[in-house]
Chain A
Amino acid sequence: MAAGRHSRLSEWFNRRGWSDIIISAPYIWLLLFFLLPFLIVIVIAMSVATRTPSAPPFGYGGDNPVLNFAGYARFFEDELYLRALVTSIINAFVAMILCLLIGYPMALGLTRMQSNWRNILLMLIILPFWTSFLLRVYAWMGMMGKSSWFNRLLTDIWNMVTPEGWAVSSIPMMHSNFAVVLVMVYTYLPFMILPLYANLERLDPTLDEAAMDLGTRPFGVFWDVTLPQSIPGIIAGGLLVFIPASGELVIPTLVGDAGSPMIGRVISDEFSSSRDWPMASSIAVALLLLMVVPTMIYSHFQTKAEHKPENRP
């Protein structure tokens, strides 16, 4: 019955001319400003790079071959691109794991708080969201610099606990993959905490009590009861970190190692510095293909979660 319940309603909505406007305005907009540029990327990826100073630097059709896979071929031949892809995956993956390790106990801790405290802390987690992303990255640039108080503090600690021969004048943090991962964890941690919290908050606390009542110790309760139920939250949070992190441009540009760049930076450099549109487009398509897999996992779990009746509020 539920399937057709509102069919009549939508039938009338559909019959009217005004509903065409409601559908077609955003539809046409997205076709024009989202799909069309995307198709252009795919087409240009198969064109030939040209060096005409005024016109767009690619040739397509005419004397050029219609399908040109030189861009893709170079992607697999030139080690730089594959290495950049691997670096991106590793950085994003490590950032995701670290976010999970820090974010899970934080989310679990939040659910154990009294509700007035909980609201304040949640607000404090969301607050950095509303400040500038760029400035959050910048804040760490200030912390990691060689002469900053934070670096000197870490250096002093290092020199204190390690043998004398290992002493350093400062810790080289900036312009490394370490810095990239650190800043990614910093900026994306809320993406991990919020879905996890939403998931953990919904769990029935009497299940914990039941497990304890049956003789399980607290850590066992976590392992047997809490963790298995929070897997949807872990997957959601993990992908919400992994997907944007793997295509990141700002963080690797500001704090990353120019010697082993991430894929986003490579695309941007190919496009802006080398003005090689076909190459940049080929890498872009490759990056998108890489993202299809986690996205499909995500939407698979989303639909599964939506169809589970007990998840409805």
Chain B
Amino acid sequence: MRRRPIFLISVLCFGFAFFYIPILSMIVYSFNGSRLATVWGGFSTKWYVSLFSNRQVGAALLLSLKIALISATMATILGTMAGIALARFRRFKGRLFFSGMVTAPLIMPDVITGISSLMLFILMAEWIGWPATRGFTTITLAHITFSMVYVTTIVQSRLISAERDIEEAAMDLGSKPWQVLWDITLPVIFPAILSGWLLAFTISLDEVVITSFTTGPGNTTLPLLIWSKVKLGVTPDINALATIIVLVVGIGVVIAGWLMNRAEKQRDRDARLAYRANE
């Protein structure tokens, strides 16, 4: 006997309305014919046309993708190393300090990270002459730094929950530690590394505050472009851009959900196979 939790269901409905009405409103107004972003002036796709003919947007998107690709890859390499170091090496000099440095960027306010990175880059340019100008390099360096700790968190928790027996088994069968890492550890935690990369990629693609401090003239990423436009108020072509982004992400999430569902069904089939193998 369980009564229907009417209160909980109504809060859920309210919550989802709260989540999605602003986004839906944004999508509807992206087809608004009027120049005034908030007054309805008939259906039109002109903002999409103007968006696609805007070469600035294309260039910004390209730069964002380039930075996200490079920084996510570097962050994954460094973050995985740090995760392995923290989960597998019990004793090394400054371990506690290291684990503190890995958590601190997670709670550091963006403004402070942005300002301190900018100060560092300016002073580096003064002292050693590199990086001479701010732009692509400095943004990428800053992005690697703050996204690698997310990768570390994911990889570390996966490694801690992973059975260490299988690593010992490989060693017992004649593999030296680095072979164990290569043959066993990395393949087993690969899904975690992949999701770390994806997370690093999306946060780099989305980052605005740190980017705005570490960028230089002529290096406008997509979030920076949106930032500079949005600061001036609501403009219809941003609605169009937002709609496209929501659409792309939505499709991506649906595909990911479908893949996950398929993997789950495969697991069910495997379980049945294992059960039948009993007989």
Do A and B have CB atoms closer than 8 angstroms in the complex? yes
Q: Are B171 and A291 in contact, CB atoms less than 8 angstroms apart?
A: no
On whether A127 and B250 interact (CB within 8 A), knowing A40-B116, A139-B22, the answer reads yes
Most chain B CB atoms below 10 A, which of A7, A16, A137, A247: A247
B69 within 8 A of A: no
Contacts of A125 in B (CB 8 A): 19
Q: Are A264 and B115 in contact, CB atoms less than 8 angstroms apart?
A: no
Q: Mark B101-113, 1 if CB is under 8 A from A, else 0.
A: 1111101111111
Q: Are A29 and B253 in contact, CB atoms less than 8 angstroms apart?
A: no
CB distance from B110 to the nearest CB of A (A): 6
A131 within 8 A of B: yes
B252 within 8 A of A: yes
- Whole-angstrom CA separation of A189 from B11 in the bound complex: 13
The A-B contact count (CB < 8 A) is 255
Contacts of B206 in A (CB 8 A): 132-134
A34 within 8 A of B: yes
Count of chain B residues near A, Cβ 8 A: 92
Contacts of A308 in B (CB 8 A): none
CB distance from A128 to the nearest CB of B (A): 6
Q: Are A247 and B109 in contact, CB atoms less than 8 angstroms apart?
A: yes
- Whole-angstrom CA separation of A253 from B88 in the bound complex: 43
B164 within 8 A of A: yes
On whether A30 and B102 interact (CB within 8 A), knowing A109-B9, A138-B242, the answer reads yes
A169 within 8 A of B: no
CB distance from A39 to the nearest CB of B (A): 9
Q: Mark B175-208, 1 if CB is under 8 A from A, else 0.
A: 0011000000000000000000000001000101
Contacts of B238 in A (CB 8 A): 135, 138
Cβ < 8 Å to A, chain B residues 86-114? 88-92, 94, 98, 101-105, 107-113
Stretch of A69-77, A78-86, A158-166, A280-288 at the chain-chain interface: A280-288
Cβ < 8 Å to B, chain A residues 181-236? 186, 189, 218
B152 within 8 A of A: yes
Q: Are B112 and A41 in contact, CB atoms less than 8 angstroms apart?
A: yes
Q: Are B120 and A23 in contact, CB atoms less than 8 angstroms apart?
A: no
Contacts of A137 in B (CB 8 A): 230
Q: Are B85 and A130 in contact, CB atoms less than 8 angstroms apart?
A: no
Q: Mark B15-27, 1 if CB is under 8 A from A, else 0.
A: 1101111110110
Give the contacting residue for A268; candidates B9, B15, B111, B223; CB below 8 A: B111
On whether A243 and B107 interact (CB within 8 A), knowing A9-B164, A9-B167, A102-B11, the answer reads yes
- Whole-angstrom CA separation of A109 from B9 in the bound complex: 6
Cβ < 8 Å to A, chain B residues 70-97? 78-79, 81-82, 84-85, 88-92, 94
Q: Are B178 and A250 in contact, CB atoms less than 8 angstroms apart?
A: no
Q: Are A250 and B208 in contact, CB atoms less than 8 angstroms apart?
A: yes
B226 within 8 A of A: yes
Residues in chain B within 8 A of chain A (CB atoms): 3, 5, 7-9, 11-12, 14-16, 18-23, 25-26, 29, 36-40, 78-79, 81-82, 84-85, 88-92, 94, 98, 101-105, 107-113, 115-117, 119-120, 122-123, 126, 141-142, 144-145, 148, 152, 161, 164, 167-168, 171, 177-178, 202, 206, 208-209, 223, 226-227, 230-231, 233-234, 238-239, 241-242, 245-246, 249-250, 252-253, 257
